[in-house]
Amino acid sequence: MNLFQSVRNTTSLGQSVEKQAARYLRQKGLAIVRQNYRCKGGEIDIIAREKETLVFVEVRHRKSNRFGTPAETVTHRKQQRIILAARNYLLTLKNQPACRFDVIESWPEQSTNVNFNWIKDAFGC
């Protein structure tokens, strides 16, 4: 994935990484339900379905692990905002499926490729 050659700013880098992460999840057998779900108080990068489970995914990217891994930036406060957004999203559904919260962390490799580490059930309600 030649991700970094055409990306000029942080926002477009984040959007590009999220698109790549969605593609990665599809390759792993998940169906993408929605991307960039926003509500008052929170947001979810990717909502996917894995069999009967609804998966809320936070995508985090860092240029290096020098100051910690991308997953370590998902603080308790950030988790609470994701949980709030997930509860809001679940209110729009007729049936309440089982759900979990995952984190996909990414970082560049040799400045032209991106690596993903998928952390399933990274945190809970």
Amino acid 6: pLDDT:
45
Q: Can you name the residues that pair with 102 across neighbouring β-strands?
A: 57
Q: Are 83 and 76 in contact (CB under 8 A)?
A: no
Q: Pick the residue with more confidence: 56 or 115?
A: 56
pLDDT above 60 for 20: yes
For residue 101, give every residue at least 6 positions away whose Cβ sits within 8 Å of its Cβ, in sequence order, or none: 55, 56, 57, 58, 79, 82, 83, 86, 121, 122, 123, 124, 125
Mean pLDDT of the chain: 86
pLDDT given for residue 84 in this prediction: 95
- Domains in the chain with CATH codes: 10-123 (3.40.1350.10)
